[in-house]
Amino acid sequence: MIEGESLLKLKLVLTILVLSISLSCTKQKSEANSPAPSQPGVSQTRHSVDVVKVSSSETEIKRDQTADALVQLNIEKGYHVNANPPTFPYLKATELTLAQSPGVTVSFIVYPNPLTKSFPFAEKALAVYEGTTTIKVKLKAEKTANPGRQSLSGKLLVQACDDQVCYAPGTLDVTIPLSIK
């Protein structure tokens, strides 16, 4: 007889297997029915980066102080992305990474509170983001930071899904304009 923790592990493995087979079948069916790329005006398969747009307005920060930069995600209606952290370890979390910038450090990144929604393909409700949501980045300008305008660049990893299928993860470029005083 299978005990509690072993049963949970078995259920997780079976869920992953079923999702893998389901996604594979959906992809094969989609590819088989999709029109040739040379047909103008005909809709093609969607990608994660097609349904998520990212933006950030200028953040003013004084030397030797902190400020919050806001990175806004606009997720097309009918789609969602996995929250950070995701509900299950095998799901791709929405994740922001930022490059080093002279005189400015990233103290930490705060992901928004997720929505909890049920989907036909998951036996448990999932933590997701939909519509417009904002990631907060806590920045610190060093005493030695040069005053003026500069940009903090980075990448946003997203995996978009609709109510039936998830698309391949994609990476969006992020630029946070800074005004250092």
Could you read off the pLDDT of 33-79 as tens digits, one per residue?
333 333 333 334 678 999 999 999 999 999 999 999 999 999 999 99
- Order across the sheet with 126-129: list the strands: 115-117, 126-129, 80-82, 160-161
Question: What value does the mean pLDDT of the chain take?
Answer: 82
- Angular region, 88: left φ>0, alpha ψ -120 to 50, beta rest: beta
Look at residue 80 in the predicted model and tell me its pLDDT. Answer: 96
Does the structure show a pLDDT above 90 at 14? no
Number of domains in the chain: 1
In a domain, residue 9? The reply is no
Instruction: Of 12-16, 99-103, 134-138, give the range with the top mean pLDDT.
Output: 134-138
From residue 137, alpha-carbon distances to 37, 42, 98, 99, 117 in Å are: 40, 39, 10, 13, 26
In a domain, residue 95? The reply is yes
In a domain, residue 30? The reply is no
Range of the domain at 155: 48-180
Q: Cis bond leading into 120, ω under 30°?
A: no
At 139-158, the pLDDT tens digits run 999 999 999 999 999 999 99
In a domain, residue 149? The reply is yes
In a domain, residue 21? The reply is no
Range name among 42-56, 83-97, 101-115 with the lowest pLDDT average: 42-56
Do the Cβ atoms of 133 and 73 come closer than 8 Å?
Answer: yes
Binned at pLDDT 50, 70 and 90, residue 165 comes out as: confident
In a domain, residue 66? The reply is yes
Provide the percentage of residues in the chain whose pLDDT is more than 70: 75
CATH of the domain at 171: 2.60.40.1250
Instruction: Name the residue with higher pLDDT: 166 or 27.
Output: 166
Q: Could you tell me the pTM of the whole model? A: 0.74
Does the structure show a pLDDT above 60 at 23? no
